[in-house]
Amino acid sequence: MLLLQALPTSIGVAAIAPALLVLWLVIAADERPGPPTRVWLAFVLGAASISLLGIARAPFAAILAVPGNPWMTQGLRSIFGVAAPEEIVKVLVIITVSVRRRTFADPMDTVVYGAAAGLGFAAYENLAYLVQHADMWRSLAALRSVLTVPFHGALGIIAGGYIAIARAGTALGAHRHHRDWARISSWCLALFAPVALHAAFDFPLLTLQKHPDLGSTTRMLLGAASLLIGFSSIGFAIRLVRRVGRHHAPRTEIARERLSQLRQMWALLLVGSGAGFAGAAFVLTSLHHWFVNPERNASLLLIPLGMTSILVGLALLLATSAVYVFGRNRIRTSSEGFSSAPEPG
């Protein structure tokens, strides 16, 4: 019975773990990570911002429907009923968390805060969806962890990236000509770009939900359009992270090696945690099915696969620790040797 009681915990982990893993990858791209307390504050406030959606939707309540035009109504709901309120509260969180930071201290911090706010929002939304559809939580968790969670994080990165560009100016290679207009346009893009991408992503999905009688070809095209917009937004966010990150790229070989070790550690941690969680979830759900239907013991035959996945995950986590320990010692040794080398003269 303890295993059955642990199943809701698995659902909670499935909802939150993808957001945390994506956040770790974003942090690993930062050579000089900001204060961890602010990153976690952005994550928590991003999740809590869902409670403000009712207030954010209120100004748009009168323009969410066009009588006699269902397609226009669906478009307005995608923009002003979903995208605009959600992105407004995320941008407010990013500005709130980063407002006390020095403008030119580290623009990458704002990008990380944006990712944290978007992923915190996604984690809470993910949890609500999985609890609401507990009968199909595994397939739903896999689908949302591949696209929806990274998509929300990408929108936060885009908002944070444009805020960083607007604040940093020429430090990020922008505003060389028409600086005032470039700064204003960057601030506008911090909100309008995520809203536009979010609305374009949601419109096909909401249309499929609202009109289940559409033909198979139309449904396939709408689904493909949503996937294309979602993955393109993630790709654009990655490009923006690299653009901002290039301006604080490590300048020494020791710093480059340190960053390389950090990225290896996060990659192994990502794969190991995912394998371990997948195995644990599979074992728990298989035992759950066996307790519910003792006469059907076929699921028990698949438990060894789950145990193997757990062992693989543990092995990768041990490898992560080894990469960190040996990499840290090697870099420390190289650093000491470099500092003690005689000056040319």
What's the token pair of residue 68? 């006699």
Q: Is the pTM of this model over 0.75?
A: no
216-240 pLDDT per residue, tens? 888 889 888 998 999 999 989 988 8
Q: Which residue has the tokens 């239907």?
A: 293
Residue 114 in contact with residue 159, Cβ under 8 Å? yes
What's the pLDDT band for 129 if we cut at 50, 70, 90?
confident
What's the pLDDT band for 1 if we cut at 50, 70, 90?
very low
What's the token pair of residue 244? 């901002």
Other beta carbons within 10 angstroms of residue 73's beta carbon come to 16
Cα distance between residue 224 and residue 96, in whole Å: 36
**Can you give the residue ranges of every domain in the chain?**
1-250, 252-337
Q: Is the pLDDT of residue 344 over 50?
A: no
Could you say which DSSP state residue 83 is in? I
Q: Which residues have C-beta within 8 Å of that of residue 189, sequence separation ≥ 6?
A: 162
Could you say which DSSP state residue 343 is in? P
* Between 127 and 237, residue with greater pLDDT: 237
Other beta carbons within 10 angstroms of residue 110's beta carbon come to 31
What's the pLDDT band for 119 if we cut at 50, 70, 90?
very high
Q: Is the pLDDT of residue 342 over 80?
A: no
Predicted local confidence at residue 263, as pLDDT: 60
Residue 233 in contact with residue 155, Cβ under 8 Å? yes
Q: Is the pLDDT of residue 88 over 70?
A: yes
C-alpha dist (Å) from residue 144 to 21, 137, 139, 208, 343: 13, 10, 9, 17, 56
Average pLDDT, the chain: 75
Average confidence (pLDDT) over 57-77: 82
Average confidence (pLDDT) over 93-106: 72
Least confident segment among 178-187, 192-201, 246-255: 246-255
Average confidence (pLDDT) over 187-208: 92
Ranked by mean pLDDT, which of 29-38, 86-95, 170-179 comes out on top? Answer: 86-95
Q: Which residue has the tokens 């006699």?
A: 68
Predicted local confidence at residue 265, as pLDDT: 65
Q: Which residues have C-beta within 8 Å of that of residue 322, sequence separation ≥ 6?
A: none
Q: Is the pLDDT of residue 331 over 60?
A: no
34: left (phi over 0), alpha (psi -120 to 50) or beta: beta
Residue 112 in contact with residue 27, Cβ under 8 Å? yes
| Percentage with pLDDT > 70 across the chain | 63
Residues in the chain: 345
How many alpha carbons fall within 13 Å on the CB side of residue 199?
21
CA-wise closest residue to 163 among 231, 246, 106? 106
Q: Is the pLDDT of residue 171 over 70?
A: no
Cα distance between residue 31 and residue 47, in whole Å: 26
Cα distance between residue 68 and residue 73, in whole Å: 9
